[in-house]
């Protein structure tokens, strides 16, 4: 085991898979000589050359289309978005091509494509650089979506995503790149469709993902000191949602709080509520509580920005209210 930053864990995963398989390559803006906006591809161009660590023009729709074409022909491209919000410029390619071509080709084509990069609310990055796009892509058939939250799961998930024969959107949070954690020395993989049971508990189920996992765990420290015993689930897989792990927890706790950085309207939390209400309503002893970001463009002002997203004290208050 060794302590590793999250951005280094992603770099290790990319390096190991490129070394193992010559069909794996990276493309995106400034991924080569600059090493990527958050240094996930630092120095890899020295090892693999400029054709496998390929710097592209600022033209997301063009290089996304090129990556999908490369995947069809048998390569395994990893597209880095300098900021995930810029990938809205390639929404047509991601939805109509990456998501659907395996089906519309009658299974003749596989699309082994990873689309990864930073997103989420940072520190005063402004509205256009603070977007959470998970809800945008959630309804597109044919895509898998994961959100890493620790260096350990970042590496294991990325290695699995690169080897998958379907398009995977891989969300990283801009404020988690410098998070440090123990990484095993031996090779390992994590499932792309399984949630992680972060903490066992009996009083209430808290479901979360990405950066909010860490806000939830700060809240849990306070709750435990006040004699509450919450169970915590990190979704990790946003498409498909591992509803069975949530249901297994609800059978013990009968209460559910969802904590997300996504906007409330049409977000991941909304989908979980719909699935639970449709199929497992009898497990609930209280209404589901959803703690989500405000439905507004994220302000640049630091105090206003903070007011748009969820912090530990709000989670603590909501748990106490639901259990009172």
pLDDT digit of tens for each residue in the chain (324 aa)? 889 999 999 999 999 999 999 999 999 999 999 999 999 999 999 999 999 999 999 999 999 999 999 999 999 999 999 999 998 999 999 999 999 999 999 999 999 999 999 999 988 988 888 889 999 999 999 999 999 999 999 999 999 999 999 999 999 999 999 999 999 999 999 999 999 999 999 999 999 999 999 999 999 999 999 999 999 999 999 999 999 999 999 999 999 999 999 999 999 999 999 999 999 999 999 999 999 999 999 999 999 999 999 999 999 999 999 998
Domain boundary among 143, 162, 183: 183
The b/e string for 103-116 (b: 16+ C-beta within 10 A; e otherwise) is eeeeeebbbbbbbb
Asked if residue 260 belongs to a domain, the reply is yes
33 is catalytic: no
- Do 71 and 106 lie in one domain? The reply is yes
Please write the tens of the pLDDT for every residue from 143-201.
Answer: 999 999 999 999 999 999 999 999 999 999 999 999 999 999 999 999 999 999 999 99
The CATH number of whichever domain residue 28 belongs to comes to 3.40.50.970
- Radius of gyration over every alpha carbon of the chain, rounded to an integer in angstroms: 20
Q: How far apart are the first and last CA of the chain?
A: 42
What is the domain count for the chain? Answer: 2
- Do 169 and 27 lie in one domain? The reply is yes
Alpha helix segments (H runs only) across 261-311:
268-279, 302-308
- Do 21 and 111 lie in one domain? The reply is yes
Asked if residue 211 belongs to a domain, the reply is yes
- Do 139 and 230 lie in one domain? The reply is no
Q: What is the pTM of this model?
A: 0.95
Catalytic residue from among 60, 134, 172, 260 = 60
Domain boundary among 135, 150, 183: 183
- Do 140 and 19 lie in one domain? The reply is yes
- CA–CA separation, 42 vs 8, rounded Å? 9
Catalytic residue from among 12, 17, 80, 129 = 129
- Do 237 and 149 lie in one domain? The reply is no
- Do 43 and 67 lie in one domain? The reply is yes
Asked if residue 235 belongs to a domain, the reply is yes
Asked if residue 316 belongs to a domain, the reply is yes
As beta bridge partners, residue 75 has none
In which domain, by residue range, is 312 found? Answer: 196-323
Residue 41 is encoded by which pair of tokens? 């591809």
- Do 207 and 141 lie in one domain? The reply is no
- Do 174 and 209 lie in one domain? The reply is no
Asked if residue 189 belongs to a domain, the reply is no
Q: Is the peptide bond before 240 cis (omega within 30 degrees of 0)?
A: yes
- Do 210 and 286 lie in one domain? The reply is yes
129 is catalytic: yes
The CATH number of whichever domain residue 273 belongs to comes to 3.40.50.920
- Do 61 and 119 lie in one domain? The reply is yes
């Amino acid at each position: 085991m060794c302590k590793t930053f999250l951005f280094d864990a992603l770099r290790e995963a990319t390096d190991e898979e490129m070394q193992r398989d010559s069909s794996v390559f990276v493309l995106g803006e400034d991924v080569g000589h600059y090493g990527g906006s958050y240094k996930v591809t630092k120095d890899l161009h020295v090892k693999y050359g400029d054709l496998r660590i390929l710097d592209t023009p600022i033209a997301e729709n063009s290089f996304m289309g090129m990556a999908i074409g490369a995947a069809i022909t048998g390569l395994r491209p990893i597209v880095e978005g300098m900021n995930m919000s810029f990938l809205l410029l390639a929404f047509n390619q991601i939805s109509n091509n990456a998501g659907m071509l395996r089906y519309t080709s009658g299974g003749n084509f596989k699309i082994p494509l990873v689309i990864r990069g930073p997103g989420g609310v940072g520190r005063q990055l402004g509205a256009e650089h603070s977007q959470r796009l998970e809800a945008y892509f959630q309804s597109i058939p044919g895509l898998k979506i994961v959100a890493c939250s620790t260096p350990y799961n970042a590496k294991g998930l990325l290695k699995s995503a690169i080897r998958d024969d379907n398009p995977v959107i891989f969300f990283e949070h801009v404020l988690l790149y410098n998070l440090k954690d123990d990484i095993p020395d031996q090779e390992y993989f994590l499932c792309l469709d399984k949630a992680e049971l972060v903490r066992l508990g009996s009083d209430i189920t808290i479901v979360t993902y990405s950066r909010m996992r860490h806000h939830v765990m700060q809240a849990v420290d306070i709750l435990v000191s006040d004699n509450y015993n919450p169970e915590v689930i990190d979704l990790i897989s946003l498409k498909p949602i591992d509803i069975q792990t949530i249901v297994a927890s609800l059978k013990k706790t009968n209460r559910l709080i969802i904590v997300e950085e996504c906007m409330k309207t049409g977000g991941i939390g909304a989908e979980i509520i719909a699935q639970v209400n449709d199929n497992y309503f009898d497990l609930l002893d209280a209404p589901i509580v959803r703690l989500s970001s405000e439905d507004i463009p994220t302000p640049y002002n630091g105090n206003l920005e903070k007011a748009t997203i969820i912090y530990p004290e709000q989670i603590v208050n909501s748990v106490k209210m639901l259990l009172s």
